[in-house]
Amino acid sequence: AEVLQLLRMDDCNAHGVLARRADALDGSEADPTARGVRGALLLASGSLVNHECLPTLARFDDCDAGSRSSATACSTPCVSFRTLHAVPRGGELSLSYVPLLWDGEERRARCRALFGFDCRCARCRAELREEAEAQGKEAPAAGLGEEEADWRYVDVFLLKYVCARPGCGGTLAPEAPGGSAAECNVCGAKRTEKEFLEELQALQE
């Protein structure tokens, strides 16, 4: 029983490590978005980071030294965490344990099945209230200090921080603090702040 409990704890706290990007291999023409999970890491600090469907962090796997050309690429195998945007002093650092573009029920089902909790982040609470209202039911009561996400913010967040490369769905985070270019943590695609603003303006027209 103790062994099973330890294995369960390991399963809930470990981070899946993505395989090396295909476009980092000499002469490869494979799809760089097709990165399977090749193993797991149990990180002393990383395992303390909670889940949220509008996270403040993105995780970058660089377990093949020199496989990325990013200015922040590690010279030795490592896993790094980057903030997506400025986080207020005392604000919580969070990761999404599931793809950001999954719908609410799919995200919550994965969290229940793999990690044993029901997500009640601001995005999920807004989705649950909307679903309840559509079904003519009473929305779940909010706990003390719980807030719901604004849908306009959610839309802009997903546009800015989810990679638009077909079939990818990775998370875009600044290459360097305060930098104007963001890099995808799955396929390595890059986008500047100017390009994002142009996309946002085009959608608003």
Q: Convert the pLDDT of each residue in 78-118 to its tens digit.
A: 788 999 999 999 999 999 999 999 999 999 999 999 888 99
200 membership: H or E segment, kind and range:
helix 193-204
Report CA dihedral (68, 69, 70, 71) to the nearest 10 degrees: 130
Q: What is the value of pTM for the model shown?
A: 0.79
Contact in structure between 181 and 191 (CB atoms under 8 Å): yes
Both structure tokens of 112 = 């229940």
What tokens appear for 61 in the block? 């796997």
| Spatial CA neighbour of 85 closest among 153, 137, 166, 4 | 153
